Amino acid sequence: MDISAALLGQWQNLAIEGMLRALDPKQKDPLPPINQRLTRLIEKKLAGSKGKLEKRLRAIQKTRAVTTTS
């Protein structure tokens, strides 16, 4: 593969510059606002799953309590 040293150096500089730009916290692009319907859907999913997670946690705790007392 024939790549000149100058071209390789240019690619290397571009790559390093891109990595530094990606790591720079000052230049974060603002996130675009999400749709209201999507916001409500996310909130609904999070609210619904909380009850399920709490039930699952209680079931696991009961199972562990029974196995440790046996």
* Residues in the chain, overall count: 70
Q: Which two tokens stand for residue 68?
A: 């440790």
Distance of CA 5 to the CA centre of its chain: 38
Task: Return d(Cα 26, Cα 21) in angstroms, integer.
Answer: 9
Report the pLDDT value the prediction gives residue 10, as an integer from 0 to 100. Answer: 93
- Residue showing tokens 């039930």: 55
Taking only the tens of pLDDT, the chain with its 70 residues reads 688 999 999 999 999 998 888 887 776 667 788 889 988 888 887 776 667 778 888 898 888 888 877 6
Give residue limits of the domains in the chain: 5-69
Flag whether the pTM goes above 0.75.
Answer: no
